[in-house]
Amino acid sequence: MSYRAAICDDSTTDAEFVGSILHQWAAERGIEVESERFASADAFFFRYAEDKSFDLLLLDVEMPGTDGVTLAKTVRQENEAVQIVFITGYSDYIAEGYDVAALHYLVKPVSREKLFAVLDRAWEKHRRNARCLNLELSGELVRLPLYEVRYLDVHQNYVTVHARQDYTVKRTLGEFEAQLDEGFLRVGRGMILNLKQIRRVTKKEVVLADGTALPLPRGAYEPLNRAIIERT
């Protein structure tokens, strides 16, 4: 599995240093990695407009023109899967990292050990996000990343997978359950929930991150709460 990283830093020395550590890490882990360096956010956006397949962004915060935080917010609006790591000489922007679900915030000078640890976490998340559901629809195969799935429900002999759009197929819920990981939980006989998509749980309903409210069957409240605590 190839791994693509973008290093965005107006300091050539710092960018080359981070790039060298990245490739040392990849060599030691036996991972095929591709990296590109950008001297500004604008240079990155020019490239990103034609190729959005980056898995990891290693971003300086303070850069001429558009800063790293603004870059991250722009990318995050359309890309939930990319891992974002801020690498900067300043510690004043840590709170803003939460706004883009940044994986980590490293303060320069970056140590090899700390960056290795962060890259290990990023790679593990990438591997999990790369898992897909394969759906056969009208003569074509649709590969749907698991992180996009909000929930699945069944009606008669058909299961609907609710993601960015809905997909309905003639399969059993049990078949889907066997393909999903521990980030999902079957609730009652007719529904499977993505635990990471849950915002609030009451005894009668579960509310997802997009505001969707789903009724909970009797007895589901305690097991669902326990699963959220243990698995997310």
71-117 pLDDT, tens digit each:
999 998 888 788 999 988 766 655 555 567 788 888 888 999 999 99
Q: What is the mean pLDDT of residues 217-224?
A: 94
Look at residue 130 in the predicted model and tell me its pLDDT. Answer: 77
Percentage of the chain exceeding pLDDT 90: 66
Residue 160: per-residue pLDDT: 97
Coil/strand/helix, residue 50: coil
Give pLDDT, residue 180: 92
Cβ–Cβ < 8 Å for 183, 194: yes
Give residue-wise pLDDT tens across range 177-204.
998 988 999 999 999 999 989 999 999 9
Q: E strands, the chain, where?
A: 3-8, 33-38, 56-59, 83-88, 104-107, 132-137, 140-145, 151-155, 158-162, 166-169, 184-187, 191-194, 198-201, 205-208, 213-215
Are 32 and 1 spatial neighbours (Cβ–Cβ below 8 Å)?
A: yes
